Amino acid sequence: MPKIKSLFSARERRPLDLAEELFVSGPFIELKGRREVCVQGCRRVLLCTPDLVQLALREGSISVWGQSLCCVAYFAGAVSVRGVICTVSFDEKGGERL
């Protein structure tokens, strides 16, 4: 599947008023209040417990700390984690390790 960046040049994005964040390489992370975080660009789920969910990214990993956490969706590199989210942190070194 072609990346969005290759579909639109900078000249074409200006008239469409599309956010530059949509065209950067790397994960796209969206927080929906303190109840859900959606991560696009996930390579795999490293750990999934009620208190901690760790996801491997292309460059590093992301950890979601909280209460009653669970992965409710995982499709084509997109993961949704729901629960009471307390902390989201990044580790830029070695996404394939804990």
Q: Are 43 and 58 in contact (CB under 8 A)?
A: yes
Is residue 13 pLDDT above 50, yes or no?
no
Q: What is the CATH number of the domain that holds 87?
A: 2.60.40.2000
- Is residue 5 in some structural domain? no
The mean pLDDT value for 54-67 works out to 93
- Is residue 72 in some structural domain? yes
pLDDT in tens, 80-94: 999 999 999 998 875
- Is residue 6 in some structural domain? no
Enumerate the H helices of the chain as residue ranges: 4-7, 10-16
75: Cβ contacts below 8 Å, ≥ 6 apart = none
Question: Which has more pLDDT, 55 or 5?
Answer: 55
**pLDDT score of 73:** 86
The number of folded domains in the chain is 1
